[in-house]
Amino acid sequence: MSKRASVESTAEAYLELLAARGVEYFFGNAGTDFAPLIDAYAKRLAQGQALPRPLTIPHEVPAVAMAHGYAMVTGRPQVVMVHVIVGAGNALGGIINAARANVPIIFSAGRNPITEAGMRGSRNRPIHWAQESFDQGAMVREFVKWDYELRNFAQLETVVDRALALAQAEPQGPVYLTLPREVLAERQESLEYTDASRAPRPGAVVAAPESIAEAAQLLAQARNPIILTKAAGRDPLAVPALVGLAEALGAPVIDQFHTYTNFPQDHPLHAGFDAAPYFPDADCVVAVESDVPWFPALKAPRPEAKIVQIAVDPLFSRYPIRGFPADATLTGTVRLNLAALADAVRPRVDAGAVAERTQRWHAEHSRLRAAWAAAAARVQGDAPLDMVWLSRCVGDLVDDRTILVDEYDFDKTQGCFRAPGTYFGSSPAASLGWGLGAALGAKLAAPDKTVICCVGDGAYIFGAPTAAHFVSRAYNLPVLFVIFNNRAWNAVKRAVRSHAPEGWSAKTGTMPLSDLEPAPDYELVCRASGGWAERVEDPAALPGALARAMKVVREERRQALLNVICKKP
């Protein structure tokens, strides 16, 4: 069925189409190229047309991260727009994050005015010459699934529907659309469009029966199979399917470098976060949505161990090099392949062997959780605070109505995440600054849940905190930000120590380019935007400070920040 809308410009038609396709928010970091869109928005808002709701995000890093956070919670593609090529440059790290995390985003940017005169939208600012590039899409092309420049009004519906369809097609990821100012500014009278997109929408797919049977036979023959996963929980329905496979095998699930809640961590078959100790005895390893299942240079499964890889794209084809082997491969929708594999395994396995393995791994689960609790107890009085104790105190706050967004420093052993969608870790690409914006996007997507954002002090700086706290206040998005402040880039220090354990840094005790001192009073940054904030140095005071912060977030509906002074590495 066709619809017709009265519009005055291509820009207004673009907004009308986004609203018609269910896009709820427009995450914007505006420049001169936005003029036609802003004027179109003024008309729509005056007429009570609120969607997609425009959000002003004063820096590109949190703008893209907010779209990322909203999409990862809802599963729906989001639209973020920045200012021509300079905005795209600032946003690129976030787009790389979204690409490697398979998050659907329409990343758009204005196109510098093409004409010097003669058209609505022609150049009229000094920057319009210097900001033009020969190939604007080249900057992002390697990290988007598709890029295109809108050429004219006639193709608008096709372009919007194709962008949305490609972003959502597996493997999901960002697409890039540039919007020339002259095209946006063109006068129009009406827009005719279909009430729903008719672009092809690839459906869920399951691997061929012979591939399922091959993988099931390998697992049935295994004496000690293990399962590791990084991002199965990107699809919440894959979590119960993974439980079904683990229980059918009596096999443990290890969250190896995980970025989602992949498996209930209180399940007795959950075996922690490091698969390396189990590789010597494993004769079959199942890697589920895991781009890096192990470090070949450090510790790998035995050469004779069988490997099964399960992923929407088990080749991780956008990675230039990746050499992890597979004796069986299941390509397609992960939840369907896990369920089919569990069904194929059950009649093939020996019930006695499954029972024995199940009992053994239940005992290992109990041992691990006791060891993790003991590790926190040992350091609970340490000053400066130990990050393990800080993680335990944060972990104790988490329930199924809480979302934790983690950019590196939360110790995974000190929480217990049970439900899909309660834990989100940073992208495998690890472009710093993701956490603040992602937490705000998660809160926007789930307003009834409590969102806690754990970041290191370095990641906090990268996240454009002044812009992030502005957004929290402006749009009533109360998040608890917890800074694990060790006054250093610990990842850099760890890299130096592993690279040169007996080198000059070790000999001299100096490590240039890795310290963040003197540290700013980060709590003042949050207070400047009306937030509640405390500096915490006493480990005994930490639980009380967290309780006060949670009360502010939940009852006062105000953002809160704890600047927690931790041991310096």
Q: CATH number of the domain at 494, please.
A: 3.40.50.970
Percentage of residues in the chain having pLDDT higher than 90: 90
pLDDT tens-digit map of 393-438: 999 999 999 999 999 899 999 999 999 999 999 999 999 999 999 9
Residue 236: predicted pLDDT: 98
Q: Could you tell me if 188 and 57 lie in one domain?
A: yes
Q: Could you tell me if 185 and 70 lie in one domain?
A: yes
What mean pLDDT value characterizes the chain? 96
Distance, in Å, from the CA atom of 158 to the CA atom of 177, rounded to the nearest integer, reads 12
Cα dist. 557→62, 487, 503, 560 in Å? 21, 30, 50, 9
- Mean pLDDT, range 493-511, rounded to an integer: 87
Per-residue confidence at 175, pLDDT binned at 50, 70, 90? very high
Residue 500: predicted pLDDT: 86
Which residue in the block uniquely carries the two structure tokens 């003042």? 524
Q: How many domains does the chain have?
A: 3
Q: Could you tell me if 414 and 346 lie in one domain?
A: no
Task: Retrieve residue 334's tokens.
Answer: 């992960």
Task: Retrieve residue 139's tokens.
Answer: 């900057």
User: Within 10 Å of residue 245's Cβ, how many Cβ atoms?
Assistant: 26
* Among 165, 194, 223, residue at a domain's last position: 194
Distance, in Å, from the CA atom of 309 to the CA atom of 227, rounded to the nearest integer, reads 10
Which domain does 324 fall in, by range? 209-368
Q: Could you tell me if 70 and 127 lie in one domain?
A: yes
Residue 498: predicted pLDDT: 85
Q: Could you tell me if 358 and 387 lie in one domain?
A: no
Distance, in Å, from the CA atom of 96 to the CA atom of 480, rounded to the nearest integer, reads 26
- Mean pLDDT, range 65-86, rounded to an integer: 97
In a domain, 373, yes or no: no
Cα dist. 114→9, 133, 155, 527 in Å? 18, 10, 19, 43
Per-residue confidence at 495, pLDDT binned at 50, 70, 90? confident
pLDDT tens-digit map of 293-310: 999 999 999 999 999 999
Residue 530: predicted pLDDT: 98
Q: Could you tell me if 189 and 125 lie in one domain?
A: yes
pLDDT tens-digit map of 342-377: 999 999 999 999 999 999 999 999 999 999 999 999
Do residues 286 and 303 lie in contact, with contact meaning Cβ atoms separated by under 8 Å? Answer: no
* Among 340, 368, 396, residue at a domain's last position: 368
pLDDT tens-digit map of 105-162: 999 999 888 889 999 989 999 889 888 999 999 999 999 999 999 999 999 999 999 9
Q: Can you list the positions of beta strands (E) in 312-422?
A: 328-331, 402-407
Q: Could you tell me if 401 and 434 lie in one domain?
A: yes
* Among 311, 336, 368, residue at a domain's last position: 368
Angle at 292 between CA 288 and CA 294, to 5 degrees: 100
Q: Could you tell me if 116 and 258 lie in one domain?
A: no
In a domain, 375, yes or no: no
Q: Could you tell me if 107 and 48 lie in one domain?
A: yes
In a domain, 248, yes or no: yes
Q: Could you tell me if 358 and 475 lie in one domain?
A: no
Percentage of residues in the chain having pLDDT higher than 70: 100
CATH of the domain at 282: 3.40.50.1220
Q: Phi and psi dihedrals of 565, rounded to 5?
A: -80, 115
Distance, in Å, from the CA atom of 402 to the CA atom of 417, rounded to the nearest integer, reads 10
Q: Where are the alpha helices (DSSP H) in 155-281?
A: 156-168, 181-185, 209-221, 238-249
In a domain, 82, yes or no: yes
In a domain, 199, yes or no: no
Q: Could you tell me if 459 and 346 lie in one domain?
A: no
Do residues 529 and 470 lie in contact, with contact meaning Cβ atoms separated by under 8 Å? Answer: yes
Mean pLDDT lowest among 114-118, 362-366, 462-466, 488-492: 488-492
Q: Could you tell me if 245 and 355 lie in one domain?
A: yes
Distance, in Å, from the CA atom of 144 to the CA atom of 97, rounded to the nearest integer, reads 11
